[in-house]
Amino acid sequence: MTQAVAFGGEMVHLHSWGALYREEKGQLLVSDVHLGKISHFRKHGAAVPLQASGRNFKRLDGLIQTFRPQSIVFLGDLFHSHMNREWDFFAAWVKTCPADLLLVEGNHDILGHRPFEKIGVRVCPFLVSEPFTYSHHPLKTFEGYNICGHIHPAVRLKGAGRQSLRVPCFHFRNRQLILPAFGAFTGSHTVEIEAGDAVYGLAEDSIIPIVRAIAGESQPGL
């Protein structure tokens, strides 16, 4: 369910639900939860099971029980769009959460700072927690290391014959790590893997190291 990986001079813990834990800082990182998306689609006639929205909160509670984080950093797109009934569920969850909560703004976070800060969630455009810079979009230039989201990375696994399966993944490249989307019903984007990348696929409750460094060469940024 967890995989320890060296990144940025420390060991970070990847979780099979798509979260990352920095033990040295007591920080749990989660990206692209997209709360409210299910209610948004149901409002417009999509046959999406409502119970899927409860999975996000159950998994967040499970991660809190596992890691006991001091803080949770949401790397953008925490709430999908305009306010709907899932906001009330989120506000109630915040009251019970024992960790400090911070949102690094994403392109879907259109509600503004005030609703989040009113319920106790701090909001910022990016966050520096050395040696890392946390952002929603992958940064093109940065110092140190960048942990981000937005892409919803996935990788295609190929089996015997023409069998294939696409699964979400953690994608390491140089000094950057892109987290998979945490939320239910979020979709994904298949990433093009380059030499030197590291990719960890997520299948059920397992983490699968799919691509590591080229044999005999160091893995950039890891």
Q: Does any domain span residue 220?
A: no
For residue 218, count CB atoms less than 10 angstroms from its CB and return exposed for 0-12, middle for 13-18, buried for 19 or more: exposed
218, part of any domain: no
Q: pTM score, two decimals?
A: 0.88
pLDDT digits 0-9 by tens, 123-181:
999 999 999 999 999 999 999 999 999 999 999 877 666 677 889 999 999 999 999 99
Give domain status of residue 130, yes or no.
yes
What number is the average pLDDT over the span 202-207?
A: 89
**Residue 180: inside a domain:** yes
Q: Identify whether 219 is part of a domain.
A: no
Whether the CB-CB separation of 222 and 5 falls below 8 Å is answered with: yes
Range of the domain at 21: 2-211
In a domain, 79, yes or no: yes
Match 């969850």 to its residue by tokens: 93
Q: Which amino acid is located at 139 in the chain? A: L
CATH of the domain at 104: 3.60.21
User: Which phi and psi (to 5°) does residue 49 adopt?
Assistant: -65, 130
pLDDT band at 48, cuts 50/70/90? low
User: pLDDT > 90: what percent of the chain?
Assistant: 63
Q: What phi-psi label fits residue 66: left (phi over 0), alpha (psi between -120 and 50 degrees) or beta? A: alpha
* Confidence grade of residue 214 (pLDDT, cut at 50, 70, 90): very low
What integer pLDDT is reported at residue 115 of this predicted model? 92
First to last CA, the chain: 21
**Any domain includes 105:** yes
Number of domains comprising the chain: 1
